[in-house]
Chains A and B, each alone.
Chain A
Amino acid sequence: MPKPFTPKVVTANALLEGDVIYMTASGWTRDLAEAEVLTDEADADLRLIEAQSQPGSIVGAYLADVTLQDGVPHPTHFREDFRATGPSNYAHGKQETVKEEHF
């Protein structure tokens, strides 16, 4: 039996800055909390294809597992946790300045 589909977000790196980005319903964000959570497999596959068709602004899009806590997505794997936050050796990177802007 196939594994049940678990919630996902589309994530990638921004072409110019290289930093971690997440797909929203209308564009991209640098904050995982604002990402569009995909709960339907066909929908997720479609959104991934849409992301991959934007090579002029993003690099290496893929689907990452999340869990929902109070409706807000959180990473399930520690790798995604570091991507969402920044390095853990000391506070710098994304955790220092989550940029507000969307693009």
Chain B
Amino acid sequence: MYHYTEFDADFLSERNAQFRAQVERRIDGSLTEDEFKPLRLMNGLYLQLHAYMLRVAIPYGTLNSRQMDQLAMIAEKWDKGYGHFTTRQNIQYNWPELRDVPDMLDALAAVNMHAIQTSGNTIRNVTADHFAGAAADEVADPRPVAELIRQWSTDHPEFQFLPRKFKVAVTGAQADRAVIKAHDIGLRIVERDGAIGYEVIVGGGLGRTPMIGKVLYDFVAEEDLLPTLEAIVSVYNLLGRRDNKYKARIKITVHENGIEDIRARVDARYALIRPQFGGVDQQMLARIKADFAAPQFRVADEAPYRNAYQNDPLFRSWADTNLSAHRAPGYAIVSISLKAHGKTPGDASARQMRLMAALAKRYGHDELRISHEQNVILPHVHKSDLPSVFAALRAEGLGTANIGLISDIIACPGMDYCALATARSIPIAQEIATRFDELKLEHEVGPLKIKISGCINACGHHHVGHIGILGLDRAGVENYQITLGGDGTEDATIGTRAGPGFSADEIIPAVERLVLAYLDLRTEPAETFLQTYRRLGMAPFKAALYPEAESKERADAA
């Protein structure tokens, strides 16, 4: 993985010293809150409902054991002993005190991490496929180019005050696990005639106006990527609307001007700036690529795995749901669920973080990944080690076998923490998971993605949930709207609203009716919820959600 150069370390050290002085000046009264707020936000420090919140970037979701250990140390020393992994491959500390934040940032810098541009109208943390470098279906590892984009965008002088925030996601595989079509820019590594290049998608995004990104270029050569990105953001910086916050994202710019107009403008800008990119970026990319060389995969007997799989039903259940195909023979990708039934999605205690770090070090070539689905990945584990890994995870409450199932729910922090939220989302996730655990149905239900947001900003990706839940404030009471048929993969689709919302008491039974209806409607167990929805459309699901309306309609018709 990438290791900071002297330049990176010096830059970060200077930036942290600057922020330390800014915090001191805020505390001694030299800076007002209005003056301080933009400065703290540039360094990832929010003020939420109950406390400050520090959002730390985990670029392209990649960590080593030393970094994970440090995150645990920070959680214990300056927070309440846990961290919250988010849908943008960040970790959030929900309880820091203002005076401690400069020390926290220094502790992060000591392990090559920072909180820069995790807020504000800047280019945010670059996210990537969480199976990067390990997936069997990968054209190339997306992390080197994601690191190049991190370096290019960090403190980029032209892009510190964009019309609105700007999110970039990269995948190196055909199967999209990074939701690239719901990002301001989505990049997919493609191969054409033996050469590596990028499909460039712009104008995707969720929030109050969800849009699926449009293809700006179907192939951009590797050496042309950075000037292309610079041209896109530069065009957006001038053209994007600054008169209305709700129309300021690039998805609206693309929507209002049309993709052809945007392409013409980007082409013109590109022609102007291309000569400035003299190849230094490609030299840097080559060095970065060397840092991401694949580990030395070992060859070993898989018998321990086969034995455990045959003889231990708990292990078999976990292996069936939490493992994915690895590109190296004898290896598997392990998804560690941070979705134990009834717990807060994405939370990990310091103790759990240390265990995951230790397992990565001992069994996983010292690599960990954070997924946008709020789980932790050990990308490279030899199958012979899986029984030991599972036993250790189980002992710390990390052995839940539910990846991709109904209880593997994405949920934003919602009104339990977030100052912007209009309703809670975590307790809804907790109750759904607990309910389906009681029913012992989730393995029978099979792949089903529920995503919950506690406000219209859609941090919980509800628009691309097979079942999406949006929490709103209706006249001072929490109300939950359901959308159906959303999909965040390469077949990205925005879900359709099913009808009137449900109260907090009604939403769990409503989801249960929906899922039981699916079990009745599917042609065979292999037909997933999403496939059944696509085959039948909204009507039968709507009937299940609103049985009273349905019976009234029948009575009226009779």
Contact = CB atoms under 8 A, between A and B. Distances in A.
A59 B97 CA distance: 14
B50 A55 contact: no
B97 A17 contact: yes
A78 B417 contact: no
Contact of A18 (B27, B51, B424): B51
Contact of A89 (B27, B51, B52, B344): B344
Contacts of A60: 33, 47
A87 B51 contact: no
B29 A55 contact: yes
A23 to B, nearest CB: 17
B49 interface: yes
Given A15-B98, A55-B29, A88-B416, A83 B476 contact: no
Contact of B424 (A13, A59, A88): A88
A83 B49 contact: yes
A18 B344 CA distance: 22
B364 to A, nearest CB: 30
B416 A89 contact: yes
Interface in B467-493: 473, 476-478
A77 B476 contact: yes
Interface residues of A, number: 25
Contacts of B47: 13, 18, 59-60
A79 B455 CA distance: 13
Interface string B363-380: 000000000000000000
* A60, A76, A79, A86: residue with the most chain B Cβ atoms closer than 10 Å: A79
Contacts of B207: none
Interface string B398-419: 0000000000000000011100
A5 to B, nearest CB: 18
Interface in B59-103: 80, 95-99
A102 interface: no
A74 interface: no
B32 A87 contact: no
A16 B97 contact: yes
Contacts of A18: 47-48, 50-52, 96-98
Interface in B28-53: 29, 32-33, 47-52
Contacts of B52: 18
A93 to B, nearest CB: 5
B430 interface: yes
A90 interface: yes
A92 B80 contact: yes
* B49, B50, B51: residue with the most chain A Cβ atoms closer than 10 Å: B50
A44 interface: no
A93 B95 CA distance: 8
A31 B266 CA distance: 56
A43 B426 CA distance: 38
B79 to A, nearest CB: 11
Interface residues of B, number: 29
Interface in A30-60: 55-56, 59-60
Interface string B333-373: 00000000000100000000000000000000000000000
A78 B97 contact: no
Contacts of B415: 78-79, 82
Given A18-B97, A55-B32, A94 B27 contact: no
Interface in A60-95: 60, 76-79, 82-83, 86-90, 92-94
A89 B50 contact: no
A15 B477 CA distance: 30
A78 B478 contact: yes
B259 to A, nearest CB: 40
B446 interface: no
A32 to B, nearest CB: 13
A20 interface: yes
Given A15-B98, A78-B415, A92-B80, A86 B27 contact: no
Given A82-B415, A92-B80, A16 B476 contact: no
B99 A16 contact: yes
* B32, B33, B426, B477: residue with the most chain A Cβ atoms closer than 10 Å: B33
Contacts of A77: 476
Contacts of A76: 476
B416 A82 contact: yes
Contacts of B50: 18-20, 82-83, 86-87, 93-94
A69 B166 CA distance: 47
A26 B361 CA distance: 55
A19 B80 CA distance: 14
B330 interface: no
A55 B431 CA distance: 41
A82 to B, nearest CB: 6
A86 to B, nearest CB: 6
Interface in B185-202: none
A14 B95 CA distance: 13
Contacts of B95: 93
A93 B51 contact: yes
A84 to B, nearest CB: 10
17 contacts: A16-B27, A18-B47, A18-B48, A18-B50, A18-B52, A60-B33, A60-B47, A76-B476, A83-B50, A86-B50, A87-B417, A88-B426, A88-B427, A89-B416, A89-B427, A89-B430, A92-B80
Given A18-B47, A19-B50, A88-B416, 12 more contacts: A15-B26, A15-B98, A55-B33, A59-B33, A60-B47, A78-B415, A87-B417, A88-B427, A89-B426, A92-B80, A93-B51, A93-B95
Interface of B: 26-27, 29, 32-33, 47-52, 80, 95-99, 344, 415-417, 424, 426-427, 430, 473, 476-478
